A and B are shown apart, each in its own frame.
Chain A
Amino acid sequence: DIQMTQSPSSLSASVGDRVTITCQASQGINNYLNWYQQRPGKAPKLLIYDASNLETGVPSRFRGGGSGTDFTFTISSLQPEDVATYYCQQYDNLPPTFGQGTKLEIK
């Protein structure tokens, strides 16, 4: 199975800050990479698909990038409602696998 490694595992930033999370795959996954947001006690929500495509209705401050094995997820201006855990997920090889998550908090 492809291993997905996210960094950092937790992050604290101020409202308005630019925040970046990285996700590294154990082998190349083309651009078959999705990003999800999971607020406390809720189900994951799809934000970005195919590495850089914004899901319908998702604010434009969220952005995804990268290719091959190295990917990034950026929030351009952190908002209080962005407090959540963020997960990357690959689907180039079965089974689809998720990263361990990055917990984002507000300072």
Chain B
Amino acid sequence: EVQLVESGGGLVQPGGSLRLSCGASGFSFSDYWMSWVRQAPGKGPEWVANINQDGGETDYVDSVKGRFTISRDNAKNSLYLQMNSLRVEDTAVYYCARDMTFRFDYWGQGTLVTVSS
């Protein structure tokens, strides 16, 4: 059974940093692209970033470019999102998702990031 489990969310002040993690199991993690997708309260999902199988290719939505960094450790079956210079508008539930060319076929349960003073 495919499982994705996010962790690392919490309350952070504007301008602060946070690192999210996603542990994967039940599939060959190193064979798949992975994405982070976020959902602000009461809004639709928003794709944030993705990364290819070996970590050599990444892409980001414009609003997080230069502030967020996606990475992975295939030996640990883990995906990460380093978030710096956080803004109030980054407040959301962050999901990791298996990415089949932007068909997100498995999602984690999400981790809540709240940016507030």
Interface, chain A (partner B; CB < 8 A)? 32, 34, 36, 42-46, 49-50, 55, 87, 89, 91, 94-101
Contacts and interface: CB of A to CB of B under 8 A. Distances in A.
B46 interface: yes
Contact of A49 (B45, B47, B59, B103): B103
7 contacts: A32-B102, A34-B102, A36-B45, A42-B109, A50-B103, A95-B47, A96-B47
A45 B45 CA distance: 12
A55 B45 contact: no
Given A34-B103, A98-B44, A100-B44, A43 B59 contact: no
Interface residues of B, number: 18
- Closest A-B pairs by Cβ, 5 of them: A91-B102, A43-B107, A98-B44, A96-B102, A96-B47
A43, A44, A99, A100 pick with most chain B CB within 10 angstroms: A43
A99 B110 contact: no
